[in-house]
Homo-oligomer: A and B are copies of this chain.
């Protein structure tokens, strides 16, 4: 930070161009009646001096600040960073920047940030959830549009972007059936989570559509590898004929893979494994590398950003907008030989 430079002001530009400050301002904002030669001279002076028009001042004219808030809660960055990237993709077209606020699941922090964002006159707010349970709206009667991403708002009049989780589970099941698996079990997270129930529903429906059903009941537990290892041992005893396990997360899938291998199962020859999240370090570290349902969170963020810009420009699009998942195939679900 040697030689911190003074900002170039509109006064400097006016002096350089030999016009008044008012004329310089009109020239740069494209307003008022000016000769084209004058406008060109002012623009040249601004360019030469490296003048950056102030967005703060411009916002007083346009009524927009070209800023939005992104409120999130995420300890590991798995969910919110891809949503941020997608939102940036959409907002970038509009030269809009995002204030990012992490509430750490604390409603008091959330309200604090909402006030801070409104004081800064953001044009709108994206609220990115970490779980898919519907969440209470940010506040009643906010003066700017809000889009909920990943976790929908409990108010159906709000605008929410969600992942189509049942269809994501169906992708996994259809892939397993197509590659020759017949006895599919499901090991997943806590029964109380909306994501868990949505994935169980999608799994059951896809199997029913193929005239089949799940081997045993779903195995509900935690989101951890430890739970996956434990469940695998119990599953191998209870249902020795299982030839595929669809797991509610990549971490669970890694535990199931390790647990089954230690029960003497060859992967993927004897049993295929599919996870959910497509969290690259986990999926690629798995043995064998893990086929996984990608929740397309970046697309969720992109859709939320696009819907927010359109709400800012021309009013809200209430309702729930659904983004499809995609399946990323790796070695853990290779077709059975023969």
Contacts and interface: CB of A to CB of B under 8 A. Distances in A.
Nearest to A120: B55
A99 B102 contact: no
A286 to B, nearest CB: 9
Contact of A52 (B67, B119, B145, B157): B119
Interface stretch (A29-37, A38-46, A79-87, A128-136): A79-87
A116 interface: yes
Nearest to A141: B5
B121 A97 contact: no
A95 interface: yes
Interface in A263-309: 280-282, 284-285, 287
B316 A4 contact: yes
Contact of A98 (B2, B78, B99, B141): B99
Interface in A109-128: 113, 115-121
A192 interface: no
Interface size class, chain A: 35 or more
A75 B120 CA distance: 29
User: Taking each of A100, A117, A121, A258, which has the highest tally of chain B beta carbons within 10 Å of its own beta carbon?
Assistant: A100
Given A7-B143, A77-B81, 9 more contacts: A1-B157, A2-B157, A52-B119, A56-B121, A76-B280, A77-B80, A95-B116, A97-B116, A251-B285
12 contacts: A1-B146, A1-B159, A53-B119, A55-B120, A77-B81, A80-B81, A99-B100, A224-B284, A225-B281, A225-B285, A251-B285, A281-B282
The 5 closest A-B pairs by CB, nearest first: A77-B77, A225-B285, A100-B100, A77-B81, A5-B141
